[in-house]
Structure 1
């Protein structure tokens, strides 16, 4: 049984609305908290992780084909004459080069001689051949000299022939003098010394001296002209 206030009004009429207001506030707070929790959970539940970054492989650098190595350059073969002596100083050797071909003369100035000829390769090597198996093997070095060997009569002679400037070089004269066949070969060495053989009907002997400026030479009272030899 509800009591009355001093003024005679029932107490329930004051507490009823207040209770209702408090209950509504609590319910609102509960609902707000629930919505906040639900929204946070929902948001966190459906949040997708960002896709992992795809790393594209770096393109391999293209391998460029290196340019071909240049072949070793070779100087063109000179058109020149070379003259020198054998290593034992017993004989002389002269070589004349023209357009990749060579002619050579080996001579001891007494009775041993040989004419040889052949081709010269681009690298300066040469193999020249003559009568009775004579052979010259040589190599042109920087266009300045020829170093090689001459095989003649079972003997091998090493030689060095330097580039010769006129009047040095190789000379030859052929003629008929008083019914005899004359064939002479001369090597004029740098410095002017001459080495040569004169064949009279195939019989060798020391050759008379020539005038290197004109090639003039006297054989048995007859003047001949020895001319420079080229292939």
Structure 2
């Protein structure tokens, strides 16, 4: 009985989540810069002579860097790969590399971590940048292995928040202005929302070279396999989920 009740509840919850409102129109003005989801920045105002694609690394190269006993050996390896402008800097513009942290209608996200920027090996840090369109949301997520500090570097303001854990589940809301920052404790569920009519850009500093990211909605609520497993594999009405 409890299983059937849970199944019906799950399916009703999913059904009620379907919006009945017409699609909202974009808030940005015509001809205004925006950050699309195709890996390219419209009008590319940030592209300069210094902009170049980030290099790729073979598995053998990453393994050699990982196994180097000292920082000197590691830096010697990296320098042997070519021009330091290729291997010792990382381009976080949309033109520097494909979006690897987030990608959708709300904007794009890029993360420099030990896997794509191995000069970070042993440093205990990584960095991300988020390009949010008007009304763009960096959806609820956690960083498994890192505390994060977010700083707004372009735009008007960002609405931000986090939920720490069981026992202190009261959301902590902040609104940051240009060049202001806020903290996200390791493992906390957090988000950023641009409720303005112009794009916003924020930089996120992370306390681990391999911070990890797990998006709450995408990895649970919108994952059919997870929903099906929670509902016993069968939805109300008899249709299969798994």
TM-score under structure 1 normalisation?
A: 0.23
Structure of greater relative contact order (alpha carbons < 8 Å, 6+ residues apart): 2
Rg: which structure is higher? 1
Q: Whose helix proportion is higher, 1 or 2?
A: 2
Q: Whose strand proportion is higher, 1 or 2?
A: 1
